[in-house]
Structure 1
Amino acid sequence: MMAPLILVVDDEAAIHRFLTPSLKAEGYRVIEAADGAAALRKVEQDRPDLIVLDLGLPDMDGKTVIRTLRRDCTIPIIVLSARDREAEKVLALDLGADDFVNKPFGVGELMARIRAALRHRVLTARDTVFTAGDIVIDTAAHWVQRKGVDVKLTRREFALLELLFRNAGKVVTHRQLLHDIWGPANEKDTQYLRVYIGHLRAKLEEDPAAPRLVLTEPGIGYRLAGARHDAAT
């Protein structure tokens, strides 16, 4: 297996000069970005295994980067920032960051946080590949393919499809889907569900008007047909 690929996002050249050799000495592969736009491009192009992200970037706030990534990406994000106010930490974590390390930082502490984040990702990646017809979903790597071609899903579309796959062959009620994906305050908002089911069918079905994968159980909910779990070997 290839060593984990880490994306370091910081506009300080000194951080890159210090951190990149330290990460490589620990056996990681490293790519760099100096601003938010470059970071988003590198995530799209290189699919790193973990991101070390500064909040004070020259073109956009690091929290904007987190918010953008978390629309359809679950890559672990460790925030590395001189902003030590509790409100900043809480907001970054609420937006989807996995951890927060203050500048100045000890390299040993940062490496321990990186190991912990990667270890958690490996544990959650076990037995997470499912197949239904020509659709394959990897719930840990957060990708979906149809006929071997990547399918772009939003974060909520992916969460909805994952929940259906994890309950393959069973009817999942409107209430359960709404509760788990949109939260308990939205358990009666079935219009949300119809719209997102329509999006999934448009992206995954051969004929969205005559679905064979995501089936409707009138008045009850939805059921995923023909799925199997590809156990890890």
Structure 2
Amino acid sequence: MLSQFYQQEGDQVVISRQQGSEFAKRVADDFNPLHDVDAKKFCVPGDLLFSLVLARYGVSENMHFTFAGMVDETSKLDFPVGSEAFDITSDAKVMLSVKCDGENNACQSLVESLTKNYVEFSGTTFPHVIIPLMAKQQVMINPARPMVIYESMAIHLDRLDVKELKLEADTPEFNYEGKRGKIILRFNLFSEGVKVGRGEKHMVVSGIRAYCQDMVDGLIAYYNDRKATL
């Protein structure tokens, strides 16, 4: 499922601008300009790194991911032997820290189901969830420079003897002080109608400003236009 979105160069993984951009738009439905092929500061989607970890190490009952560095097309990623805590690095710089505990299952069906459901949920939270969530407190991101940074995410599964998962969004949370804030997006995981797990995605927002409906309308129109034409 992921082979078209990276290349193996010896013991290292490299992701081109085209591959990162294609994953963002075609798999995650994520049209953040940071993932455009011609972006001045291109960034590989964090959800692609998450997906590569699941594909390589399987699914554990408890998993926590901390995104520590910006991966671009020049990054040569080293994936170590799996353990309870390990780092994905590039030139000895930590890009993603992973912690796992509990039982582990490398079932391809489970891995692909969790990957697909989480990535679709994660990629579509902007603008459909984030903008209305901030609007409740009469603030918004800066439309000229929408800085929403993926900080961390965690997943807990009560059991691993399942092959298919369905993700449903839970109540999100937003708190801010001054121009910086934090968004927590929560979700539950179900198998055959029974809740079997839960998770959270944490994001940092900067450049917060007073809410303006005209600017919000323009930002959403810009986003929808990109989605329709790219």
The TM-score normalised by the length of structure 1 is 0.31
Choose between structure 1 and 2 for higher RCO, CA contacts under 8 A separated by at least 6 residues.
2
Larger Rg: 1
The TM-score normalised by the length of structure 2 is 0.31
Bigger share in strand = 2
